[in-house]
Structure 1
């Protein structure tokens, strides 16, 4: 019986070799990674950079000064609406709006034909009256001679004397009527009552006007005046000839108080104060609005801080960043305050603040509560050292 040939058996270590090689590769990779990392130096963690802030110590006040601006209107020293004293037809207009005039200058003229005809009539009557008066004087002279010769009665002398007086009176009456008519003729020429400029011209040439109708509006040249309406309390603090400052859009001007009204206006319940400007300024025209600053002391406790130090908060309140020492470091603390008064640069506030606290005065939009900060130079060492 023949036997079947058998294959030679493989060594047993080869079946473990399949698992050993990946394990050796993994160990080598781990050792390689450790070797590559051991050559790098360890860096110490960097500190958080602190923000540099500008601060100022605040001071407690028992009152503050509130500034009010009262608006007033610039006026010319004199403003007149002028017209003729009699009615008639305008035959000539010699000036127009915006022109400068001098006192006594003729501005307009009325038709004088009717008045000149009356003057001619009165002149003829006056001549006749003078003739009658001369004749009466001659008659009186003859009567006196006859009376001296007892050829005429005393009654006749008296009658002749009174005739002379009547003729003279009539002559004087006609002369007075001529003078009155001459005044009327002179009033047909409208003249400027003062040096100034024409603001308005309300009629045209050829228009029929009535007595008193406004033809021109004139304003006087010279230093302007400003009328302010103040309450009686503020007006009583002022005095005549007191020098004050009037604010315009271009620059402040000096003025002197010209008058203070002694009664209230019924519509506004205010007192008019007129300030005469003492400095010339061509940029200011009648009708411009100017301001008058009044300071009023208000009794209220609080602190003055820059306006740019305030941050809007909730319920109409504001916040301030105060520098305080916490755990040996300077940190920001937000404190709510109430705004009592503010002007262009600073504000008066009250709240949970203390005297001499350091308040951040600018750059508050980049800050948050609890932030660690450094104080900029300029604050005294004692102020910062007192916090630490």
Structure 2
């Protein structure tokens, strides 16, 4: 048998062996339809509860200010000779703060005192002459005119002496006013002049802040004034600390720049705050508007400025089908959103893991046992 004949015989034998196998497989596909199992994924949901109004916590920012502060300066002009306290230092009522150069006033005072001594000496001589003339007049040895002249001179010297005394007193007051003192207990906020600088009368040299008596000044919309009363304790956050500040006054004028009304809030005496810090006032506000609160994880991007949620439509036997619904966000916090749209009270909405599901998919609720649906 040649080689070609042997290959042909081998092919026939292989075909004869394979044919029964195909026949057996074909027989397995006949008869009843095979059962196919489909596993349904469980989803976490939240039931929609309608709210008739939106309750918000509004936060408004203001600034910490001292309840009493002011710019203080000298009543006189002069040259700064001594700076006794500086910025940030605490001072008490009457404590010396700054000194003007008083050397010229001291020299002028000495001149006035010297002139006083001279006038007193002249006045002593006039008094002695007047006594002698009056004695001579009684004896007829002098005229009345001479006595009158001495009396007039005496009066003139006494007036000069009184004027010099007033000048000494005035210089003493000027020297006293050349020493600036604290008008109340407080803290030096800012020093506005330097050593050796010449200042005019009334020029501010310090800003002085009242110690341990701070306020928070916060602007709020005028619509919120109706819910506030003087004396209310309101929560104010400064830094990481929250205080309950007492409402002192409500403003009567709207700020043209911020369109808000200023509130003055007295902070507790023990509050450790610094003037100029930001103060955050939290106030509740209610808005009459129907809607639903949903976690942000239940929302997914929509089109044309809308958002979507996945609502569940019950199919029976504990099976639900996912439907995509359009909603609109009215207000959002860091965790929740207040929404309106094609949803109704009592419906179940997928609360998280939206990336794992698609509209039309059949699922079960996570609080039910895992289900397997058998399709015939």
| Fold shared by both chains (TM-score > 0.5) | yes
Cα 1:312–1:155 change in 2 (3 A) is farther
Do 1:63 and 1:297's aligned partners in 2 also have CA atoms closer than 8 Å? yes
1:201 aligned to 191, 199, 203, which one? Answer: 191
* 2:294 aligned with 1:292: no
Aligned-partner SS, 2:97: strand
User: For 1:213-362, what aligned pairs fall within 5 Å after superposition?
Assistant: 213-278=203-268, 280-282=270-272, 284-326=273-315, 328=317, 329-362=319-352
Q: Following TM superposition, by how much is the alpha carbon of 1:116 offset from its aligned partner in structure 2, in angstroms?
A: 0.7
Cα 1:263–1:128 change in 2 (3 A) is farther
* 2:63 aligned with 1:73: yes
Do 1:253 and 1:279's aligned partners in 2 also have CA atoms closer than 8 Å? no
Structure ID, larger Rg: 1
Q: Please, what is the CA RMSD of the aligned residues?
A: 3.9
Q: Following TM superposition, by how much is the alpha carbon of 1:80 offset from its aligned partner in structure 2, in angstroms?
A: 2.4
Do 2:212 and 2:269's aligned partners in 1 also have CA atoms closer than 8 Å? no
* 2:174 aligned with 1:184: yes
2:39 aligned to 39, 46, 49, which one? Answer: 49
Q: Following TM superposition, by how much is the alpha carbon of 1:321 offset from its aligned partner in structure 2, in angstroms?
A: 1.4
Deviates more, 1:367-376 or 1:232-241: 232-241
Structure 1, unmatched stretches of 5+, are 1-15, 379-388
Task: Give the number of the structure whose residues are more often strand, by fraction.
Answer: 2
Q: Following TM superposition, by how much is the alpha carbon of 1:28 offset from its aligned partner in structure 2, in angstroms?
A: 1.8
Aligned-partner SS, 2:289: strand
Q: Following TM superposition, by how much is the alpha carbon of 1:165 offset from its aligned partner in structure 2, in angstroms?
A: 7.5
Aligned-partner SS, 1:47: strand
Do 2:90 and 2:186's aligned partners in 1 also have CA atoms closer than 8 Å? yes
Give me the whole-angstrom Cα distance separating, in 2, the residues matched to 1:171 and 1:335.
103
Task: Give the total of aligned pairs.
Answer: 358
Give me the whole-angstrom Cα distance separating, in 2, the residues matched to 1:118 and 1:105.
27
Q: Following TM superposition, by how much is the alpha carbon of 1:115 offset from its aligned partner in structure 2, in angstroms?
A: 0.6
Give me the whole-angstrom Cα distance separating, in 2, the residues matched to 1:153 and 1:235.
91
TM-score of the superposed pair, with normalisation by structure 2? 0.78
Query: Match for residue 26 of structure 1?
Result: 15
